[in-house]
């Protein structure tokens, strides 16, 4: 009961401590406890960026997280680009802000869409995403689950070129290959070369084509009906501006006496954080401030579960082919199973089967009654 006094809660009113103590349980403080624990543990987030080269991907990542992950990057020359294949590069950085730690992993995909012949250029990327799922699956089914590292890709920012009239065949191919595996957030890159009417038309066009090709991009969750009007309005605006038209910048320029992150042109200054200029702020808020956790949840609950179900189905169909007993817990073919672990696994198998049979018997008994 003393917990009710330690953490201030809305229910406690001064002047009637005894009565409140009797009625008040005190679990309204749970969110604070969760908060403290997560702050201690820290968060991790894996973001993938994909798109043709020259669309400003690294600049945008720099602007979003205000860290230069690409300090030592060397741009490939034209000769090197001719023979390049799609690579997967991971950069990890630990960011801390107001005591909250974030382990951010950026997965880059240089070489995507750059060759003359780009058939199946998304295959290395789908293989990578599947590999991370498989790794997590193994870890989850393993015996020591204390320190599972979650390397699954939580979100993929896909950069659409602003110069096209909508989606290109490569864009459609990529999104269709990955929409069931990862949360895709399409973006219109380098939006400072478009005037407002062009941006509007392009967004409409992209939305139509996404519907037409049946691509499932990341959907923002519906906000609860008891949220306040402001929040609902924000949520509506967010949904209406998808796909976001973004601009990134590595430089800080002076505009109207203030130092802002932007791009200096002879005809004016584009401010990255000005909502009237581009949707960068909306993207940043969505990605980091409001929807980061939802992205992780959807990855765990939807994409990973799909993968897991698919995997188990494949394995059980193989098992029945080998005419072994079906086990409720999928046994992964461990690379080097030693005799003791196998015995242990078999014992647990038997136990579980016995428990299942008991449950069946109990159910039948209840039905008979």
Give the binding site for another protein (CB under 8 A): 52-55, 75-79, 81-82, 114-119, 121, 161-166, 168-170, 173, 190, 192-193, 195-196, 208-209, 212, 263-271, 276-277
Nearest distance in Å: CB 190, another protein = 5
Nearest distance in Å: CB 309, another protein = 31
Mapped onto helix, strand or coil, the DSSP state of residue 70 is coil
Residues 6+ apart with CB under 8 A from 287: 47, 64, 155, 185, 295
User: Do you know the residue count of the chain?
Assistant: 369
Q: Which is nearer to another protein, 57 or 181 (CB)?
A: 57
Here the tokens at position 276 are 């009237």
Q: Which is nearer to another protein, 7 or 265 (CB)?
A: 265
Q: Which is nearer to another protein, 75 or 352 (CB)?
A: 75
Q: Which is nearer to another protein, 150 or 192 (CB)?
A: 192
Q: Which is nearer to another protein, 164 or 337 (CB)?
A: 164
Please check whether residue 31 is in contact with residue 165, taking contact to mean a CB–CB distance below 8 angstroms: no
Q: Return the CA Rg of the chain.
A: 26
Nearest distance in Å: CB 33, another protein = 46
Whether the CA torsion 356, 357, 360, 366 is positive or negative: it is negative
Q: Which is nearer to another protein, 15 or 267 (CB)?
A: 267
Here the tokens at position 10 are 């809305």
Q: Which is nearer to another protein, 84 or 234 (CB)?
A: 84
Q: What is the DSSP string of 289-335?
A: IISHHHHHHHIIIIIIHHHHHHHHHHHHHHHHHTTPPP-SS-----S
State the DSSP H helix or E strand holding residue 190, giving kind and residue range, or none if neither: none
Distance CA 232, CA 236 (A): 6
Nearest distance in Å: CB 108, another protein = 15
Tell me whether the omega of the peptide bond preceding residue 336 falls within 30 degrees of 0, making it cis: no
Nearest distance in Å: CB 293, another protein = 33
Tokens 């080269």 belong to residue: 53
Mapped onto helix, strand or coil, the DSSP state of residue 151 is coil
Nearest distance in Å: CB 355, another protein = 53
Whether the CA torsion 178, 179, 183, 186 is positive or negative: it is positive
Nearest distance in Å: CB 191, another protein = 9
């Amino acid at each position: 009961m003393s917990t009710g006094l330690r953490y201030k809660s809305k229910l406690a009113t001064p002047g009637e401590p005894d009565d409140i103590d009797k009625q008040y349980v005190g679990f309204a403080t749970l969110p604070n406890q969760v908060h403290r624990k997560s702050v201690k543990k820290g968060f991790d987030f894996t973001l993938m960026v994909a798109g043709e080269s020259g669309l400003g991907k690294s600049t945008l990542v720099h602007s979003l997280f205000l860290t230069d992950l690409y300090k030592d990057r060397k741009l490939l020359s034209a000769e090197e680009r001719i023979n390049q294949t799609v690579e997967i590069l991971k950069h990890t950085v630990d960011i801390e802000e107001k005591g909250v730690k974030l382990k951010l992993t950026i997965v880059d995909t240089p070489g995507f869409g750059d060759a003359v012949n780009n058939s199946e250029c998304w295959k290395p990327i789908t293989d990578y995403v599947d590999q991370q799922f498989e790794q997590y699956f193994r870890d989850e089914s393993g015996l020591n689950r204390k320190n599972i590292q979650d390397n699954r890709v939580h979100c993929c920012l896909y950069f659409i070129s602003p110069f096209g009239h909508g989606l290109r065949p490569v864009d459609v191919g990529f999104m269709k290959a990955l929409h069931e595996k990862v949360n895709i957030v399409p973006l219109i890159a380098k939006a400072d070369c478009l005037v407002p009417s062009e941006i509007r038309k392009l967004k409409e066009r992209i939305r139509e084509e996404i519907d037409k090709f049946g691509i499932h991009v990341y959907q923002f969750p519906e906000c609860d009906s008891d949220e306040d009007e402001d929040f609902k309005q924000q949520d509506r605006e967010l949904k209406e501006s998808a796909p976001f038209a973004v601009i990134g910048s590595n430089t800080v320029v002076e505009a109207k006496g203030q130092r802002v992150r932007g791009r200096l042109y002879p005809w004016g200054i584009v401010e990255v954080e000005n909502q009237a200029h581009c949707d960068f702020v909306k993207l940043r808020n969505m990605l980091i401030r409001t929807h980061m956790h939802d992205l992780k949840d959807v990855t765990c609950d939807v994409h990973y579960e799909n993968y897991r179900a698919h995997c188990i189905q494949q394995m059980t169909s193989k098992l029945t082919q080998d005419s072994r007993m079906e086990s409720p817990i999928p046994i992964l073919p461990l690379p080097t199973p030693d005799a003791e672990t196998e015995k242990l696994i078999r014992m647990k198998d038997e136990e579980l089967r016995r428990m299942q049979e008991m449950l069946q018997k109990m159910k039948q008994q209840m039905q008979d009654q």
